[in-house]
Structure 1
């Protein structure tokens, strides 16, 4: 289980990476950077790993159909973040147990 904290992500000049439109969506530059980071994380993580993306805005990329079959969850507040982290750990643990039981000795 991995949490990507986009909400508090800052660039090299200490400026917040995530900027929002007046409707709560990420501005295009922020969306592109968050998308790139999600893709990088998915590239190094196993498909069984749950990735929770914490950001107060709406990440349009997370609505992509490719996320229907992988564990990527958006969290837009602290309560949801905690809930998804606990649920994600439970799913990852269950997947590990199922994999261990199906692996021949």
Structure 2
């Protein structure tokens, strides 16, 4: 069992800026623990001789040619921006500074 602790969930909640009750912390620790155990069980399956695949069905996905096409210049990209400074978009700060 992976044993995800309530303290680890509380730490993740703090980093995510989520206010969780004690009951929620216990509940999520239990749920995350079950998820980690389920995912790790997949790694224990004997896959000898099984060809790796990205899709459960044989799918042919045609790829287009990699052709270089003109793109916007920095000035063209910024000319409709509400605010720009030193060749960059200016956006409102959403995270507090410091080491949190």
Higher helix share: 1
Relative to the length of structure 2, the TM-score reads: 0.29
Higher strand share: 1
Relative to the length of structure 1, the TM-score reads: 0.28
